[in-house]
Amino acid sequence: MNIICAYPVNLDAVHDVRGEEIAGLSEEDGEAEPKINEKITCIDDLVSALLFCMQNGSGAELLIDRDDMARRIEASFSWHHRLGGNAGIMANVLAARGAMPVLNAPALSQRMAGMIHPYVRLPLQGKLVEPVRAVNEREMVHFVFEFVQGTAVRTGRREVVARKSNRLIATFDPLNSRLCTDSDFDSFCSKNIRSFDGALISGFHLVPNFGFREIYKEKIAQIASWRDGNPELYTHAEMGSFQQPEMMKYLVARLPADSLGLNEDELAMICGPTSGWRRTLESAKWLMRGLGLQRVAIHTRDYILSLMLDLIPAEDEAKALTKGADAAATLAYSGSLEGKPPVGANPTGLKACDEFIGEGATPSGRGAFMAAGEAIATLVPSLRVDHPRFTVGLGDTATATIFHEELKARIAGKKRHSP
């Protein structure tokens, strides 16, 4: 199973927020209401955005506007490092499940290559090679501030306590913010597109607000050329934390994809606030109708809900969502895809599934499915993780796992119906 993974891969520098070091950095009196500015131009922008995320239990990803500010942030905290970038994380998950992902990596240092699964392949001079053979010693670093539920930060007379575990990502990345691709990657995908079964595309949220249309048009044209060259290519586009809602609205109206994935914050950005699985399902229906998609998936802390036309059997979609939810929970709980999964389902997710079944859905494993017009809606509760080891990459892990299972079901279906 050959899968294109584009666009971003980077190094994540991760800091576990404790509280006292954040309070000591702020140059303001701490009385202003926390907020998220468009960019991080000073340390107070970083502190304010982090406090906003903690106060709301939400995540965000913001661009750092200058190299010197990035260096100051790097010098102000202690870090541990792991592979980051939507495409890089998803490629690792796919490789661990036995697929052969082909990854775009215009910046790849030796230590980043050592973090990539050895079964991931990178194009080099017309051939596919192991990550360690494609090193170019460039490295893009994203600063990840992870906080756990209950973490407290006091600034002046204000105390902010993290409502839920989540993260703020601060990024200075001139390559991934332009969705740059390696020329070997471009050439290989173009020439060998018929050998691919699917494409996982992401990272559009990293593009700055200024000039985003030109960058998006270039990538939309590339993805369209892949689909023209291989009409059977199953393409999933994963969203992210965009700077402005109009950026996502512009993109999804033009993006040539079969399937669209969002979390609850991203869904609210494009459809307005949602609460509960019924509103989430209605928003998914609106997106599917308006954009002509074959599938929309929303992953939340409590459950994953998908709305899908006749791509694969409903039972297979329920199994795919379950494996995706379990993979993300295992990673959050143990810190490894190979670790021990948590025991027990998310109570809010279970309640949603019970209500879903009460309205006519057919139980399937831990989840259920039912007809929703011409499409099938499937809902699967998440597993319960009270104290996650970390939060970055959980959506990418679920997405890649689900995509792998859906591709397997599609390929099996084609074999059953072939003469």
CA 3 to mean position of chain CA atoms = 17
Contacts of 337 (CB under 8 A, 6+ apart): 93, 96, 327, 330, 331, 397
Of residues 36, 38, 37, the one with CA closest to residue 56: 36
User: Quick one: CATH architecture of 1-257?
Assistant: 2-Layer Sandwich (3.30)
- Domain 292-419 CATH superfamily: Ribokinase (3.40.1190.20)
Neighbour-count burial for 211-234, b at 16+ CB within 10 Å, e otherwise: ebeebbeebbebbeebbeebeebb
Look at residue 419 in the predicted model and tell me its pLDDT: 63
Res. 234: pLDDT tops 90: yes
414: how many CB neighbours lie within 10 A of its CB? Answer: 10
* 1-257 shares its CATH topology with 292-419: no
Look at residue 28 in the predicted model and tell me its pLDDT: 61
Res. 29: pLDDT tops 80: no
Query: What would the pLDDT profile of 315-371 be if each residue is shown by its tens digit?
Result: 999 999 999 999 999 999 998 998 999 999 999 999 999 999 999 999 999 999 999
Average pLDDT value for residue range 42-71 = 91
The residue assigned the tokens 């791509």 is: 311
Res. 269: pLDDT tops 80: yes
Domain coordinates in residue numbering, the chain: 1-257, 292-419
Alpha-carbon dihedral sign for residues 45, 46, 49, 51: negative
Please state the pTM of the whole predicted model. Answer: 0.91
DSSP letter at 26 equals: -
